[in-house]
Amino acid sequence: MSDAQAGQIDTVMHEERLFPPPPEFAAAAHIGSLDAYQRLWDEAAADTEAFWEKLAREELHWFQPFDQVLDWNPPFAKWFVGGKTNVSYNCLDVHLDTPRQNKAAILWEGEPGDQRTLTYQELHREVCKFANVLKGLGVGQGDVVSIYMGMTPELAIACLACARIGAVHSVIFGGFSSEAIADRNNDASAKLQITADAGWRRGAELPLKETVDAALAKSPTVEKCVVLRRTGAEVNMVEGRDFWWDDLMDEASADCPAAELDSEAPLFILYTSGSTGKPKGIKHTTAGYNLYTKMTSRWVFDLKDEDIYWCTADVGWITGHSYILYGPLSNGATVVMYEGAPNWPDEGRFWEIVEKYRVTIFYTAPTAIRAFIKWGDEFVRRSDLSSLRLLGTVGEGINPEAWMWYHKTIGGERCPIVDTWWQTETGGIMMTPLPGAIPTKPGSCTKPLPGIVPAVVDETGQPVDEGHGGMLIITRPWPGMLRGIWGDDERYVQQYWSTVPGNYLCGDNARCDRDGYYWIMGRIDDVLNVSGHRLSTIEIESALVSHEHVAEAAAVGKPHELKGEAIAVFVTLRDVEPSDALRDELKQHVRKEIGALAQPDDVRFTGALPKTRSGKIMRRLLRDIASGKEEVGDTTTLEDYSVLASLREDEE
């Protein structure tokens, strides 16, 4: 380990495994060799605007062509200025007079086992009808529509219908509270609410409409509410405000030409809480976002017409927006959409779905993968997964041992894994191993996509030495980038563009190794400082997860008189009960794997880790617990309050 230098983070990880793309995969891939990738990346780096211009003209339908590629007034970007297009048109209408018109766009599976298929033509028809419903309710261009519903096809229809008429959707994940909905509705001045009577989750009904009723009592700008009948639950309908989806659709015309929208017309707002502060409404716009999600879907997932593509995210998150809806549909792909929980009726449900629909591309989150590992391989083995050809991960770093399990047990050692690094703010994937081109190293998101030029810098904005960790920045604008925080330009400038002026600060730390591979080291705020050495949480966690009895781990710092910070780790176990012997064994294990410096002072066993609703470990909360602070901060995004309670009990 090297000496700590100002602003640099030490790495303690020694991952040397390398997995080249399988030759048969590479031979058929859109980008099929390291050379091909490098050529494309170099071309994009040499003239970024020309690179995007060519793709924009070829890949999007333009009602009116743009006359300027980029208007960059840092940090405010306008892409494809002067052009007029429509995202819903690019996802639907473009496929209509082609052989794709009767191809399945969405293969939908409800949690109770019901299913629906929507072809491109059918989806187009439903979207046109619902767009007319929206118009009939007084929704026009620029109006914000708040959507709070489960993972039903109508969620996709609602989003695409907004896009069709130039309304701005704000999808709120179906697990949020009425307070959270009201906050978001008020911040965005939402005009219309869309919801469902209820949603299915682990066999129970989630009372969506009831939650919306409480939210609407505090959302003065929302005038009307459309309610989908999903479970048949009894709900309260307010005369003059609430309307049933099917009643409105019965009356609606299927004729609704797509509005000719400005390239920079807002497409959606998506609120992200991060782990601190008030939720921010990340703003994405029309043409740049559309192009970026379309191209990245094709490059990263190597999408072909015959693929059956399944991204398990919820449309309530950016992953669902970009890689269930807009990216894949722009490519005319067939998308699987599943309503419910991975462990209903039992822990084999995902694998049954893979077998049933013969899924070829499967994209999920590391937190889910660690849950599968904990549940045991027997649930996986029950199903035939031989249709799979490509796997992906998103949302946090994947611990190398979890990566290996995914590779062997799900991928049968034949499927490349794309570890995709990106953010709500970036709109689409920024770094990932292109599956036919870039050899993978477990735990690394490898290289930037064409047009993306990252750097790793210290606090003064100077590049750190090769192999050292620092702040990850993106040095050029890209079409999928956020265009701002809704109603808060100052926060946008301050948070993302002020630390290293003119460069996008993503808030993560990373290091770049000698092969030019990037390793994400966690959020800037999560760095541990032990005896003057700055260590990343993910490396310590990965060392713990490599122990046979550890399912999940979270590492945080707690104040220490001598070392500055001591390491406290929270661990969930598989197959065994907690014991003092195991506690010592885990400390020794980390010491052996990465060195004495990283040995935890505290090891705490817990039944589960507190996570945000999108599955990220709430390290800030754990830090407070580890240091014995009474205050636990804002826990409204906690998935399971009982976890906090049980950790607190352990402490006493």
Catalog residues that contact ligand WT7 under the rule CB under 6 A: 272, 317-319, 394-397, 419-424, 445, 506-508, 520, 523, 614
Q: How many CA atoms lie within 13 A of 77 on its CB side?
A: 28
CB of 274 to ligand WT7, least distance (A): 7
Q: Are 54 and 461 in contact (CB under 8 A)?
A: no
Closest CA to 470 of 482, 453, 486, 458: 458
Closest CA to 139 of 166, 170, 112, 111: 166
Q: Are 318 and 424 in contact (CB under 8 A)?
A: yes
CA angle 531, 533, 535 (to 5 degrees): 120
d(CA 85, CA 261): 5
Kindly tell me which of 29 and 445 has the beta carbon lying closer to ligand WT7: 445
Q: How many CA atoms lie within 13 A of 217 on its CB side?
A: 7
d(CA 303, CA 328): 8
Q: How many CB atoms lie within 10 A of CB 233?
A: 16
CB of 285 to ligand WT7, least distance (A): 17
CB of 428 to ligand WT7, least distance (A): 9
Kindly tell me which of 262 and 314 has the beta carbon lying closer to ligand WT7: 314
CB of 381 to ligand WT7, least distance (A): 27
CB of 398 to ligand WT7, least distance (A): 7
CB of 520 to ligand WT7, least distance (A): 4
d(CA 468, CA 487): 37
CB of 444 to ligand WT7, least distance (A): 9
Q: How many residues in total does the chain contain?
A: 652
CB of 454 to ligand WT7, least distance (A): 12
CA angle 97, 479, 435 (to 5 degrees): 75
Kindly tell me which of 92 and 506 has the beta carbon lying closer to ligand WT7: 506
Q: Are 609 and 554 in contact (CB under 8 A)?
A: yes
Kindly tell me which of 199 and 397 has the beta carbon lying closer to ligand WT7: 397
Local structure of 471: helix, strand or coil: strand
Kindly tell me which of 249 and 434 has the beta carbon lying closer to ligand WT7: 434
- CA dist 514 → 404, 446, 462, 468 (Å): 23, 11, 18, 10
**Is beta strand 224-228 parallel, antiparallel or unpaired with respect to 266-272?**
unpaired
Kindly tell me which of 397 and 450 has the beta carbon lying closer to ligand WT7: 397
What's 176's DSSP letter?
A: -
Residue nearest to ligand WT7 (CB): 424
Q: Name the token pair of 167.
A: 């309304």
Kindly tell me which of 171 and 259 has the beta carbon lying closer to ligand WT7: 171
Kindly tell me which of 244 and 497 has the beta carbon lying closer to ligand WT7: 497
CB of 314 to ligand WT7, least distance (A): 11
Q: Are 556 and 622 in contact (CB under 8 A)?
A: yes
CB of 461 to ligand WT7, least distance (A): 19
CB of 316 to ligand WT7, least distance (A): 11
CB of 472 to ligand WT7, least distance (A): 9
Sequence-distant (6+) residues with CB within 8 A of 446 are 419, 431, 432, 433, 438, 440, 517, 518
CB of 292 to ligand WT7, least distance (A): 13
What's 46's DSSP letter?
A: H
Kindly tell me which of 66 and 421 has the beta carbon lying closer to ligand WT7: 421
CB of 419 to ligand WT7, least distance (A): 5
Q: Are 285 and 191 in contact (CB under 8 A)?
A: no
Kindly tell me which of 109 and 508 has the beta carbon lying closer to ligand WT7: 508
Kindly tell me which of 507 and 564 has the beta carbon lying closer to ligand WT7: 507
Kindly tell me which of 245 and 310 has the beta carbon lying closer to ligand WT7: 310
Kindly tell me which of 143 and 541 has the beta carbon lying closer to ligand WT7: 541
DSSP codes, 206-260 = E-HHHHHHHHHTT-TT--EEEEE-SS-------TTTEEEHHHHHHH--S--PPP-
CB of 492 to ligand WT7, least distance (A): 15
Q: Are 9 and 521 in contact (CB under 8 A)?
A: yes
d(CA 92, CA 254): 14
Kindly tell me which of 332 and 480 has the beta carbon lying closer to ligand WT7: 480
d(CA 492, CA 471): 18
Kindly tell me which of 85 and 319 has the beta carbon lying closer to ligand WT7: 319
Q: Name the token pair of 137.
A: 């309710």
Q: Are 324 and 156 in contact (CB under 8 A)?
A: yes
CB of 302 to ligand WT7, least distance (A): 18
Closest CA to 313 of 444, 425, 424: 424
Q: How many CA atoms lie within 13 A of 466 on its CB side?
A: 5
Kindly tell me which of 83 and 433 has the beta carbon lying closer to ligand WT7: 433
DSSP codes, 100-132 = TTTSEEEEEE-TTS-EEEEEHHHHHHHHHHHHH
- Please report the beta strands in 330-433, taking only residues with DSSP state E, as ranges in sequence order: 334-338, 361-364, 390-394, 417-420
What's 22's DSSP letter?
A: P
